Amino acid sequence: MFPLQRGRRLRTNESIRSLVRETSLSPSDFMFPMFIAEGENVQVEIPSMPGIFRRSVDLTVKEVQELFALGIRAVNIYVKVDEKLKDNAGTEAWNPNGLMQNAIRAIKTACPEMIVMPDVALDPYSIYGHDGIITNGDVENDATNDALVKMAVSHAEAGADFVAPSDMMDGRVLRLRQGLDAAGFHNVGIMSYSAKYASAFYGPFRDALDSAPKEADVVVPKDKKTYQMDYANRIEAIKEALWDVEEGADMVMVKPGIAYLDIVREVKNAVNVPVTVYHVSGEYAMIKAAAERGWLDNDKIMMEQLMCIKRAGASLISTYFAKEAAILLNK
């Protein structure tokens, strides 16, 4: 009781505050999402994500080596697929010489200790921009799972450490675990996007990969709400995460991040595996836009948001700020 207890004693100066700080950040808390394009010596900035680029494999490898030197130990990779290679079944997704597979091999050759987690979903490969195969106007769950297994095994053959299914099909974690094990990849992990919400915060990401749902000459869902989660729901997120753990997920993910910290804490309390949080493109873009206008301090807001995500229960944060934050922390 006051005056015997004075909370301000523990806030007197930075040295005391650092002694009693409950949460800390380090570069190894971050995973960097990377966009990969065809070609050589290609680097194209994404207009809605200042400072983030689509890079060809050769430049991606150089960036990965810089990230590793900063203390970042994981990358989550996505590919921008040529329109000519897209179809409804996403068959390019398991091409052993595809862009994703070549990128995985190149990264693991140049930087073997970097943990590579390629995205497993069909939307970059789909003519319709959906995460699965369209049949009779909807995404066909089980046929999509069969395709995702082929995709994941091809990633494992290329050298992936984890596969990261972001599709939100029912039962896909179990099918992936069975498929990887049957192919001899018992030690390749699964980081499942377990609580992935149908969020408007993904807009810049879809610009980066051209992966938004498209108009078509057949009936297709206009959005991804039949498989991504309703953002009004909380209990459903816990259920999805628990199911994924039961099916064999080694890590679960909550996506988006800052707007869903209540879900992060709920999932963290419910599961016994590491929880990853995706600090998504829209959350990044908002900070960059406000900072460009002088309305917010980029570095201060960046570090506060990352700390809040960690405090909420994240074991790993997938964030476009990873490199910036690591440089700041290393200072």
Reading the block at residue 206, the tokens are: 């879809």
Asked if residue 310 is part of any domain, the answer here is no
Asked if residue 265 is part of any domain, the answer here is no
Asked if residue 328 is part of any domain, the answer here is no
| pLDDT on residue 211 | 62
State yes or no: pLDDT of 217 exceeds 90. no
Token match 């596969």: residue?
Answer: 163
* Distance between CA atoms of residues 206 and 83, nearest Å: 15
* Distance between CA atoms of residues 142 and 169, nearest Å: 8
* Distance between CA atoms of residues 214 and 219, nearest Å: 11
Q: What is the C-alpha R_g of the chain?
A: 20
State yes or no: pLDDT of 297 exceeds 80. yes
Catalytic site includes residue 196: yes
Phi, psi values for residue 317, rounded to 5°: -120, 115
Catalytic site includes residue 214: no
Whether the pTM exceeds 0.85: the reply is: yes
Domain that holds residue 34: 24-251
Pairing of strands 53-55, 74-79: unpaired
* Distance between CA atoms of residues 98 and 154, nearest Å: 10
Q: Which of 162, 182, 126, 120 lies closest to 145 in space, CA to CA?
A: 120
Asked if residue 296 is part of any domain, the answer here is no
pLDDT single digits (tens) 13-68: 999 999 999 999 999 999 999 999 999 999 999 999 999 999 999 999 999 999 99
CATH code, 121: 3.20.20.70
pLDDT single digits (tens) 105-162: 999 999 999 999 999 999 999 999 999 999 998 999 999 999 999 999 999 999 999 9
**Is 240 known to sit in a ligand binding site?**
yes
Count of beta carbons in the 10 Å neighbourhood of residue 294: 7
pLDDT single digits (tens) 71-108: 999 999 999 999 999 999 999 999 999 999 999 999 99
For the four alpha carbons of 255, 302, 110 and 61, in that order, the dihedral sign comes to: positive
**Tally of domains in the chain:** 1
Mean pLDDT score of the chain: 95
Asked if residue 203 is part of any domain, the answer here is yes
Q: Residues 6 or more apart from 206 whose CB is under 8 A from it?
A: 129, 212
Asked if residue 298 is part of any domain, the answer here is no
Residue 79: strand, helix, or coil: strand
Q: Which of 179, 50, 185, 181 lies closest to 104 in space, CA to CA?
A: 185
